[in-house]
Amino acid sequence: MEKTLSKPRIEEWTELRGLAFLAIVLQHTIGEYIYRADIQLPDSVMLGIIYHLTRFGTPTYAFLSAALLFYNYKSRPAAENVRWLGKRFGDIYVPFMVWAVIYWVVSRSWSDIPLTAPGWWQSLLREMIIPVSGYHLWFVVMIFQFYILFPLLGRVWNRIKAFFLKGDGTGNAVRTGIMLGVVGAAYALLMHWSYYDMSAWQSGLAGPLQFLLQHRTYIFVMYFFYFLLGAVCASMIRSWREFAQQTLPWNAVVFLFLFTMMGYTLLRQSGDVMNLNISTYLKPSTFLLIVSQMLLLYGLLLRPHPEAAPGRFRRMLAWMGKYSFGAYLCHALLLYGVAYFTRSLPLQNLHLAAAGVSFVIVACAALGLSRLLSLLPGGHWIVGASGRPRRKEASSGVK
């Protein structure tokens, strides 16, 4: 992520990142318990409903990554862009590769596959591009594509801002709203194609196009609307804050409606076994739910006032957000460890409770491990850079 001393820190971004991390851990914990053969229907239904509260997690990471980059964007010469990308590679992709190897070794060990079995190096090389052993690592592959293209995207966004963000504040808001509405409709259409049509398309293709459609969840274009939201937020942070606060009551109603409809669809289409793939990220209804929840949480974090001193809960979220990248990388391994013990237990009607306890254990352990590793010499190669302190936001510093 881009670090700079020239601009004030936007406190709620770090806090929102902490919430997103908790959502991702809860999402993966639910996935561990909801498909167990001995789960009872009430626990299965409750876990399926709660699952929809976690959908905002990963797209919010994309939103915040874009917001930080565009907020601190400066046009650079090509040589400086190369150095900038090299630092991003060290902060993000090197820790990803370290953990990809760890998950690959653990996966092979648990599957009783020799590490040096025939084709081992091809298998390990694939993990660097299409990670399978670490099921959550796909996000790093996706987000790094955005980093690679960011020097170009930053220039493009400057041209877009020259048209949309000019003149009076009201005109800016109207033009930006129209742009987001049009692009959002196009993105919803893309999500419709992805969920309902692309699986059939790929069966009639071959070569690179088939590969891209088959692995479309790894491609940053499939999440471009969240990057655009991050760019808008970064470019007009004061207007964004006002919008999130002013629409808070209405957005709460929209979210509750979408949450109810998503839960109903999951129950109706799943039958006795909950199928969480019904609520995949790349689906129009899930997209609407995520945007609504993201705005809702953003507005709630600004209560009672964006410039008020954060309370204990917000300070805790900010601490989580600071170490969330390393915790994200390691949390699935910790969840494997918890599951190693719980899978042999006769849980019967306790799957919901077991998922809750596991979530707390994994989230706390992952954050603690990320903090501990960050203190070691060279720890940034394992958990990424935790960030350097920047001056606190001043009321006159954000426009």
Q: Residue 182: which residues within 8 A CB-CB, separation 6 or more?
A: none
pLDDT tens readout for residues 356-399: 999 999 999 999 999 999 999 999 999 998 644 444 443 333 33
In the predicted model, is pLDDT for residue 244 greater than 70? yes
Does the pLDDT at position 352 exceed 60?
Answer: yes
Percent of the chain residues topping a pLDDT of 70: 93
* Residue spans per domain, the chain: 11-383
Examine the pLDDT at 170 and tell me if it is beyond 80: no
DSSP string, 128-157: TTS--SSTTTHHHHHHHHHHHHHHHHHHHH
CA 126 vs CA 122, 138, 164, 244, 351: distances in Å = 6, 12, 42, 41, 35
Interatomic CA distance for residues 60 and 207, integer angstroms: 32
Q: What is the pLDDT of residue 230?
A: 97
pLDDT value of residue 386: 66
* pLDDT exceeds 80 at position 16: yes
pLDDT-derived band at 202, boundaries 50, 70, 90: confident
> Averaged over 213-235, what is the pLDDT?
95
- Residue 204 identity: G
Distance CA 279, CA 47 (A): 13
CB 12 within 8 A of CB 301: yes
The predicted structure's pLDDT at residue 327: 97
Q: Over the chain, what is the mean pLDDT?
A: 90
Cβ pair 239, 232 in contact under 8 A:
no
| Spatial contact of 21 and 320, defined as CB atoms under 8 Å apart | yes
Cα–Cα distance for residue pair 141/59, rounded to 1 Å: 14
Contact of 195 with 157, CB cutoff 8 Å = no
Question: What would the mean pLDDT of 218-247 be, rounded to a whole number?
Answer: 95
Q: Quick one: average pLDDT of 133-158?
A: 94
pLDDT confidence of residue 20: 98
DSSP state of 90: I
Query: What is the distance between the terminal CA atoms of the chain, rounded to a whole angstrom?
Result: 21
> For 98-127, how does the pLDDT look when each residue is reduced to its tens digit (9 = 90+)?
999 999 999 998 888 888 888 889 999 999
pLDDT given for residue 65 in this prediction? 96
- Are 89 and 136 in contact, with CB atoms under 8 Å apart? no
pLDDT of res. 348: 85
148-163 pLDDT, tens digit each? 999 999 999 998 888 7
| Dist. CA 206–CA 247, nearest whole Å | 46
Q: What is the pLDDT of residues 63-104, one digit of tens each?
A: 999 999 999 988 788 888 899 999 999 999 999 999 999 999
**If pLDDT is split at 50, 70 and 90, which confidence band does 280 have?**
very high
DSSP 8-state code for residue 391: P
pLDDT per position as a tens digit, 284-335: 999 999 999 999 999 999 987 656 667 889 999 999 999 999 999 999 999 9
